């Protein structure tokens, strides 16, 4: 009986973890899977917020790369009563850094909103892995330019910080 109760509790807690979070801060991360260690592919991400194109970027992504990350903070929207945003991120794989012959292979969607207690809620898990295994063979491999590593790090950091919402 104890095993059944523990198993049931495990399912309930897993369900809460998968359903999203309630907090004063929400982070959403998308990672890349489906390629071997040492392999890389040009990945392009286009971010739409409330059905409006916000920005896009690309880089040579390797196994387990963070290909998207965003953070939302309750204090940034404290003065907005019914704040809510819907994000859709479209991921494409491309032949080269000129973004030629790109093919969309996945999308990721999340909704973040402020509840009546002023905390943020989301319907997305904290980390979403996305695989390119099914499409990678039709695209050339790339190798990240480690001399530009600091540049890439700064680029990714710029996506972490957000301006105050209107």
- Asked whether residue 166 is assigned to any structural domain, the reply reads no
Q: How many domains does the chain contain in total?
A: 1
Quick one: tokens of 49?
A: 């917020």
- 24 touches 112 (CB < 8 A): no
Per-residue model confidence as pLDDT tens digits over 108-127: 999 999 888 888 999 988 89
Closest CA to 72 of 116, 8, 20: 20
Q: What does the pLDDT average to over 9-22?
A: 44
**Residue 133 sits in a domain of what CATH number?**
2.60.40
- Asked whether residue 45 is assigned to any structural domain, the reply reads yes
pTM over 0.85: no
């Amino acid at each position: 009986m104890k095993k059944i109760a523990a198993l049931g509790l495990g399912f309930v807690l897993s369900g809460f973890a998968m359903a999203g979070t309630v907090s004063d801060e929400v982070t959403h991360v998308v990672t890349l899977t489906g390629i071997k260690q040492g392999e890389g592919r040009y990945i392009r991400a286009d971010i739409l917020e409330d059905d409006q194109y916000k920005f896009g970027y690309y880089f040579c992504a390797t196994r387990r790369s963070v290909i998207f990350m965003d953070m939302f903070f309750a204090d940034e929207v404290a003065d907005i009563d019914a704040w809510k945003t819907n994000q859709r991120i479209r991921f494409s794989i491309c032949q080269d850094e000129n973004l030629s012959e790109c093919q969309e292979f996945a999308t990721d969607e999340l909704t973040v909103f402020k509840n009546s207690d002023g905390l943020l809620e989301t319907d997305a898990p904290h980390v979403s892995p996305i695989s390119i295994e099914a499409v990678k063979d039709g695209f050339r491999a790339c190798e990240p330019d480690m001399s530009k590593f600091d540049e890439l790090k700064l680029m990714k950091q710029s996506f972490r910080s957000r301006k105050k919402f209107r």
